[in-house]
Structure formats: structure tokens, C-alpha cells
Structure 1
Amino acid sequence: MKTFIILFAVLACTLAKETMVNLADKDPRVLQSLFKSFQHAEGRHYANAQEARMRLKNFRKFVGDMAKANDEDEGVEYGVTFFADLTEAEAQQYYGFGNSTAPAPEVDAPAPEAPAPEGLQYGSASHKHRYNSAKHQNTCGSCWAFTTVGMLEGWAHIKTGQKPLLSEQQVLDCSGSSNNCGGGWYYEALGYIKNNQHLASASQYRYENRKGSCRRTSYGNAMPFKITGVYKSRGDADMASRLNSGPLGVAMDFRNINFRGYWDGVWSNTNCNQWPNHAITLVGYTSSYWEIRNSWGTGWGNQGYFKITRRVQNVCQIASNAWFITTGSQQELEE
């Protein structure tokens, strides 16, 4: 029997999936207790009793939906996440991908390296040490900026062995990409950084969950390498080859609401093939799945990471807008 687990800072209980259905429909006292624990863990404070009732209703539906998903999706575990009490309009704020067709790939893209041997698991769970902890974009639809910075932080570790925290806020303020908190394109942001060869540290240029005025000249450069090219990948096989060098920026169709409660396992549900609406950082692969770093914090997924099957070509449109960079050295950056 597949087990559904809910973990909160103040309450931990393990429940069989049938019990989760009961929580959603038949046991309001237990559900209320879990709801209070959720409020505490997520720091939720509601304006009045009317809002609290509305949030509890949302929570009950979310628990029921995830219980049903646990019944139906083999190999994936779902649970309560920060999405659990949100309205649909509020949940949509946590996406933010561009809504126009991406340009054609540059014709001078370099040839990819040979693919790594199957089973190497480059960049996957055993290689998460290459990356900083997953960050949280909050309610600004800035996933494209977090994808950009996720790529560059991964490259920084590959180049130097260090894991600098770079500034999403500079990308949001200065790159001129699309609609800012309303969505954007990571290839435009990468082009901006390539043109300026500058990205401040996150500790200096702090994330504000909104677009502000560009303050690039106020801070030093924390990026320890030079971007020499920005290119579009050409399909699943090419993505795997590019990943042997470093992370890619990709986008997926996240409209399937089960994504919101994803905890762990390999997603293989193909009910996700509309135009991509959420950008993420592709960090590795195995013979059976892609490994992704999201921007919904460490409380979503497996410490902020997500696996999706490689056994379906362009699953959830993941290969439709995959971009990679080529890099130079710090010495070239200083010249």
C-alpha cells in the first residue's frame, strides 16, 4: 500500500491513503487539527473568521485532491504544501513564464559533448551538492529569473567549486525581460547578463518579491565566469548532451494541479502537454528521468527538486524551450 505522509513543524503523522480520503470528507476534527498545524508551519494569519472558513475549505479540497492523486499515480507521492489553502488566482501567481513564441535557435550553436553513460545520474539526487538549496520566488511570477540564476549558480560551482548566491532581483530589475512579475524569458535574461558580464550577489542585491529600479552599478560583480553564448537546445537527446557540461533553463506545462502537491517520485503523467507556463532549472538526468530544481522553496517536492520521466519525448513540453549557455573563464571576464 502506498503511504501518504504529512509533515509539519509541530505535528507529524503517517496516514494510509484511505485515511486521507476520510480526512477530506468524514473527519472534520482531525482535518481541523492538521489545518491548524499547517497554519503554524506556513505562518498563515487570516483576517477574520470568514477568511479562515474559506481557507479551510480550500485546504480540505487540496487534501482530497492529493489523496486521489496518490491513489491514481504510481511511483509518485503527494502531500500538503504551501499551495494547500490558496485560491486558484493566488496559486497562479507562483508561475510566470513568457507567453509568446521563443525565437529560433542561433545557427552557430556549438556541437554538444557526447552523452554521459546511462545511469551516471549526472546532476541528479546524488549530485545536489553542486547546487544551493532551492529558493522561493514567492508571489512574484519570476520563475524565469530564478531559472536564470539557478543555471549560473550551477555553472559557478562547476567552474570554481564554490556555490555563490547570485541575485534574482538584479535580473528582475535590469534585464527588461517580458512582464517582470507577470512572466518572462530566461533566454532574454541570459542575453542581458552576457552583454553586461555582471551579476551581483544575492546578499547585496536582495530579492524583494517585486520589480524595482535597476541598481546594477551599485554592486560589484559576483559571477566568476564569462558567458560566451546563449543557445536553444534541439530536443531531448540534445538536452541530455548539453547537461554533461552544465545546467539548462527549461519550461514546462505545470497546469496539472497535482504538481502543487508533489513530494517525491518520478512524474510520468502526460496530462500536461499545453504551452509551458513555468520555468525551472534542468540539472541532470538518469536513464529514466530528468532532474529539475524548482523555485518554490525546499518545502515543495524533494527539498525543492522534482523528477519527470525521460521515457516520453518532450514530456510536459520540457524540450520546447530548453536553453543553454557556453562559458569562458574568470580571466577572460577580466580582460
Structure 2
Amino acid sequence: MKSLMIVFALLACTSAEENMVNLANKDPRVLQALFKNFQHAEGRHYANAQEARMRLKNFRNFVGTMAQANDEPDGVEYGVTFFADLTEAEAEQYYGFANKTQVEEAELEIEEGPEPEKRDLSWGSGSVDHKGRYNTAKHQGGCGSCWAFTTTGVLEGWAHIKTGQRYLLSEQEVLDCSGNSNNCGGGWYYEALRYIKSRNHLASANDYRYQTRRYSCRYKNYRNSLPFTIGGVYKARSDADMASRLHSGPLGVAMDFRNINIRGYWNGIWSNTNCRNWPNHAITLTGYASNYWEIRNSWGSGWGNRGYLKITRSVQNVCNIASNAWFITTGSSWGEREVE
């Protein structure tokens, strides 16, 4: 409690332009208080004094990096997230998009999509927002299962479109049952879609609960909660194609999340275009506005703007997002039913 009182007292004496990480980067008292508050908020319990010192060092470095990022005049705000005390190896476990070799070996049967409906999608025109179709942002934990969460993210959005109800679909079934993916070591969402399309099955997340590791496939033990069939899976053609498809429903995308600053992202339009050609993180594209795309991540509601990130539209195919975008068409619909 005393540490929180110190933080609040110092905030009262600070200009609105400086957020907590900037303060903590300048004042060791604030750093210590913020670290204690972080441990409480994230439920961190360290094994011994040696680990506690190591975690504090990681936290201090993270705060310094985010404070430096806050000094950039790009309008993006950074702060403390669950990444703050992790080692680099631990942080990398929260990605999980398959590498290029795995994708090439998968021999995926993905087609170019049909021509999109013609719309005025020029800079400054139009918007789409599918956030209201979802419950609170999910958290994949220390498992490289973003590919599974992107798959369920697209399907949950479409389930709401079909039924008017919010769905929670099972990432664990995707992890346990889909093809050649490397489960928590990274995967490819087309493998998940191929499995779901062939079975016409996906359990609810409440029935088949997420456990941050792969187990044996148990899909026959759970009723099917997917309220439609997948008709087809298609690549998007371009930025304009992505925007047009968003008027129908959410898309799956992938991009390079290796920039360490993104781990502390809180709000604003991410405009850093220094990306590698091959993405390492899969996400769900839920909307766009005049100058940004909006994506739903799988790092929980404590990261980003309640789990969402805005990415600039000022650059075509920014960080190869359009090159790695896909969408589905839906087939027949049904209510919730038992699997035979």
C-alpha cells in the first residue's frame, strides 16, 4: 500500500505529458513502487531473492526502453505490460507464427479470393469496426499459439454475424487436433482451418478449455458450437481487398512483431515500418478507419488498447500485412448441436 501511495503522490506532481514509465525511468522510488504494483497486478511470485533481482533488472530495462519510445513524436503511448519482467526467451514464447519452411512444406490449398465488391477505399474514406462482436480479448499465455487464436478470432466474429450472439470457441481443440502445426512452438492457421473445415466441428472454449499446452485430441467428447460451415479460405489481394472484405467480416492476418516496443504498446497508431519480410505473429483484423487498421491480439486486455492495436494505413501493405491476409466464406448454418 505504501508503494502505491508513493506512486500516486508523485503522479500528482507530474505533468500530464509524462506517464508512469517516464517517471519510473527517472526516479528509483517510482521504479520500485511500480515494480511492486506490477507483481501484485500480474500475480508474480519469484522463487528466491536471486530471481527477484533478475526480474527487477528486466523490469528496469523494459521501463527504460518504453520511456525512450514515449519520447518519440509519433503519438504512440507505451507503458508496463505483462512482458515487463520477462527474459527475451520467455517473451518470444508469446509469438508463434510458423516459419517459411514449415509453410512451404504444408502444401496449402489456398486460392485467390473472388473479386471484392467495389467501394471507395481511398485514404480518408470509410470505416468498419467489428470489436463489438467479441468478448474481452483473450490471452494465449506462454504458448506460441497465436495462429490458433487468430483462427478462432475470425470464426467468432463470423459466428456473431450469423447469429447475433457472441461466441467463445476453443483454441485448445485447434491445438490438440489440427494437422502438422508445432502447437505451442508455432503453427500455421491454414492447418487449423483445414481441420475445422473437414470436421465441421469446433467446441466452445468453456467446454474444451485452453491449457497453454498441447494434449491428445478429444473433439468427440464435446458438442459442436460452430454455427456454420466454412465454405472456402482465400487470400486477400491487396490493401483495398482487405478493406472491402472487412465490410463482410473479420480477416486473419500476420505481421512482424519483433520490434520490442510493441510489447509495451498502450495506445496510438503504430507506424513503425521497419519490419522483416517474414511475419512472426498472427492476429485478427477487425476493422479500419481513415488512417489505420485495427487488429485484435491474443495478449489479453491488459496489453494495448484493451487488447487491440492500431496500425497505420499510410503505407501500402505495411509490414506485409496484406500479403499475409486471408478470409473465409461461410456455408450452411445451424444451431448448436451434438456431434454424432
Q: Do both share a fold (TM > 0.5)? A: yes
Counterpart of 2:318?
A: 315
Q: Which amino acid aligns with 2:47?
A: A
The answer to whether the aligner puts 1:257 opposite 2:260 as a matched pair is yes
Mapped to 2, the partners of 1:306 and 1:247 lie a distance apart of 15
Correspondence 1:289 to 2:292: yes
Residue 68 of structure 1 aligns with an amino acid whose one-letter code is: Q
Counterpart of 1:236 in structure 2 is 239
In the TM superposition, residue 107 of structure 1 has moved relative to its aligned partner by: 4.3
Structure 1 counterpart of 2:300, one-letter code: G
- What secondary structure does 1:329 align onto? strand
**Distance (Å, rounded) in 1 between the aligned partners of 2:288 and 2:176:** 32
Residues 182-193 of structure 1 correspond to what in structure 2 (within 5 A)? 182-193=185-196
1:109 aligns with: 113
TM-score between both structures, scaled by the size of structure 1: 0.90
Match of 1:30 in 2: 30
1: distance between equivalents of 2:223 and 2:308? 30
The equivalent of 1:4 in structure 2 is none
2:151 pairs with 148, 154, 162, which one? Answer: 148
Residue 278 of structure 1: aligned partner: 281
Matched-pair identity in %: 70
- Find the residue that maps to 2:329 and give its secondary structure: strand
Residue 154 of structure 2 corresponds to residue 128 of structure 1: no
Once residues 158 and 19 of structure 1 are traced to their aligned partners in structure 2, the CA distance between those partners, rounded to angstroms, is: 40
| Mean Cα deviation higher: 61-70 or 93-102 | 93-102
Say which SS state the counterpart of residue 72 (structure 1) adopts: coil
Partner of 1:175: 178
**Aligned residue number for residue 224 of structure 2:** 221
Q: Is the 8 A contact 2:20 2:79 kept in 1?
A: no
1: CA distance, partners of 2:120 / 2:163 = 22
After TM superposition, list the pairs within 5 Å mapping 1:13-92 onto structure 2.
13=11, 16-17=17-18, 20-21=21-22, 23-24=24-25, 26-92=26-92
Q: Which secondary structure state, in structure 1, belongs to the residue aligned with residue 324 of structure 2?
A: coil
Residue of structure 2 in register with 1:197 after alignment:
200
Q: Paired residue for 1:5?
A: none
Letter in 2 for 1:325: I
Letter paired with 2:127: Q
The two structures, once aligned, show a CA RMSD in angstroms of 2.3
> Is the alpha carbon distance of 1:139 and 1:20 closer, same or farther for their aligned partners in structure 2, counting shifts above 3 Å?
closer
The residue type paired with residue 155 of structure 1 is W
Give the structure-2-normalised TM-score: 0.89
Shift of 1:29: 2.1
* Worse-matched range after superposition: 15-24 or 156-165: 15-24
User: Offset at 1:193?
Assistant: 0.8
Shift of 1:11: 6.6
Going from structure 1 to structure 2, the CA distance change for 1:239 and 1:51 (only over 3 Å counts) comes to same
Equivalent AA in structure 1 for residue 302 of structure 2:
G
